[in-house]
């Protein structure tokens, strides 16, 4: 059934082993982040047999799928207070920044007779989650309150970068996180077990030997899935970028002009597109659309195919320059960037096959 996502589990395993080796070589524990591919169960089986420490996801529904796992489970997105009960049940650790929510987790943990671990998130300037690093009083006050809660353990602190603000992790900004950890440890005479230094954008610091020594955890999704570090978009040595390949079928192939005829308004998504005049071209329509992929983050493996545009269920290609004589019914293959992988694995219309 097309469109289908072909997942090469041997390549995924290769990437997993390489990431694990890198992350562990600098003394960090490893959370593998499974949200980018909707917690696929075949990949889960592989992770279960690996030496990773945590299965991490932003959605509690995905962590719930890992019922019975030998690994620890971490919730990455800040909890909703309304899901506190489920979070305590299905996650061993969650990332937090709001005392009201942490108190709800404490209540839920008491009812379930559990201790729930949290990382207090610090915002080093990316301006997504976390207490702003300059607000030292707010940080120390939060710690003081957390330490009063009987069913919550402050497992450590963490930062997330390169998500909203596109801020790149460096030795300098991550050292601020380490300083904050040390301040907390001294003031409250406690030991923080985990200082979590970010996601795939922190991987570039490993090779450069610039990850501060006290950072002892990383949370890795994209680098594992697509083989790149996400600060400078460089491929990592020995990793694959084609563990996931999307295959979709040609449903129309016609020679037409490249600029629409008539007065133009907005397209199916309310945008006013600009059309490049390519003259008369050979256009292929394939049966996959924006519901299943992000057409700006999809890469035809045939280098001579250009993506012209997409609507919800159609992707329009210029195949004029290709060396292949495509016909209706042929399959076109694509590599995917993160946002396309996310959609393809979330779409109910994309089937999956595995290379084992």
Ligand X SMILES: *Cc1c(COP(=O)(O)O)cnc(C)c1O
175 touches 212 (CB < 8 A): yes
Please select the residue that binds ligand X; options are 3, 156, 212, 221, rule is CB under 6 A.
221
Find the shortest distance in angstroms from Cβ 31 to ligand X.
7
Please select the residue that binds ligand X; options are 33, 43, 124, 308, rule is CB under 6 A.
33
As annotated, the active-site residues are 35
Chain residues 84-113 in contact with ligand X, contact rule CB under 6 A: 95
Chain residues 225-284 in contact with ligand X, contact rule CB under 6 A: 230
Does 197 contact ligand X by CB under 6 A?
no
Chain residues 56-75 in contact with ligand X, contact rule CB under 6 A: 58
Which residue lies nearer to ligand X by CB, 4 or 62?
Answer: 62
* 339: Cα separation from own chain's centroid: 9
Chain residues 146-165 in contact with ligand X, contact rule CB under 6 A: 160
Segment contacting ligand X (CB under 6 A): 101-109, 214-222, 240-248, 327-335?
214-222
Does 174 contact ligand X by CB under 6 A?
no
Please select the residue that binds ligand X; options are 36, 79, 130, 212, rule is CB under 6 A.
36
Which residue lies nearer to ligand X by CB, 95 or 211?
Answer: 95
Locus of tokens 């001579």? 304
Locus of tokens 């991987």? 203
Find the shortest distance in angstroms from Cβ 293 to ligand X.
18
d(CA 301, CA 228): 18
Find the shortest distance in angstroms from Cβ 169 to ligand X.
11
Tell me the β-bridge partners of 315: 286, 310
Number of residues that bind ligand X (CB under 6 A): 15
Tell me the β-bridge partners of 249: 331
Find the shortest distance in angstroms from Cβ 42 to ligand X.
19
Find the shortest distance in angstroms from Cβ 230 to ligand X.
5
Residues found near ligand X in the complex (CB under 6 A): 33, 35-36, 58, 76, 95, 160, 199-200, 219-223, 230
């Amino acid at each position: 059934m097309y469109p289908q996502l072909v997942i090469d589990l041997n390549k995924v395993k290769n990437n997993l082993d390489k990431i694990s080796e890198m992350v562990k070589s600098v003394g960090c524990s490893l959370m593998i982040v499974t949200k980018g591919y909707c917690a696929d169960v075949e990949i889960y089986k592989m992770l279960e047999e690996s030496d990773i420490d945590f299965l991490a996801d932003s959605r509690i529904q995905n962590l719930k799928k890992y019922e019975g796992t030998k690994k620890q489970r971490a919730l990455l997105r800040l909890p909703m207070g309304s899901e506190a009960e489920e979070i305590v049940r299905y996650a061993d650790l969650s990332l937090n920044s709001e005392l009201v929510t942490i108190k709800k987790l404490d209540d839920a943990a008491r009812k379930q007779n559990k201790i729930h671990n949290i990382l207090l998130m610090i915002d080093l300037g990316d301006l997504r989650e976390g207490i702003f690093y300059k607000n030292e009083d707010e940080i120390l006050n939060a710690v003081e309150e957390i330490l009063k809660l009987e069913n919550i353990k402050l497992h450590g602190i963490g930062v997330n970068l390169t998500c909203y603000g596109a801020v790149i992790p460096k030795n300098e900004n991550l050292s601020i996180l380490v300083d904050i950890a040390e301040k907390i440890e001294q003031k409250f005479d406690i030991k923080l077990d985990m200082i979590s230094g970010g996601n795939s954008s922190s991987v570039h610091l490993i090779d450069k030997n610039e990850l501060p020594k006290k950072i002892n955890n990383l949370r890795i999704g994209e680098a594992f899935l697509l083989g790149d570090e996400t600060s400078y978009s460089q491929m990592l040595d020995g990793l694959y970028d084609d563990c996931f390949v999307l295959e979709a079928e040609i449903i129309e192939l016609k020679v037409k002009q490249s600029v629409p005829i008539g007065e133009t308004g907005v397209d199916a998504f309310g945008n006013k597109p600009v059309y490049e005049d390519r003259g008369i071209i050979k256009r292929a329509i394939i049966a996959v659309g924006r519901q299943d992929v992000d057409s700006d983050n999809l890469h035809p493996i045939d280098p001579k195919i250009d993506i012209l545009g997409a609507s919800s269920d159609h992707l329009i290609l210029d195949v004029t320059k290709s060396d292949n004589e495509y016909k209706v019914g042929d399959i076109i293959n694509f590599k995917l960037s993160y946002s396309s992988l996310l959609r393809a694995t979330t779409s109910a219309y994309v089937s999956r096959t595995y290379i084992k």
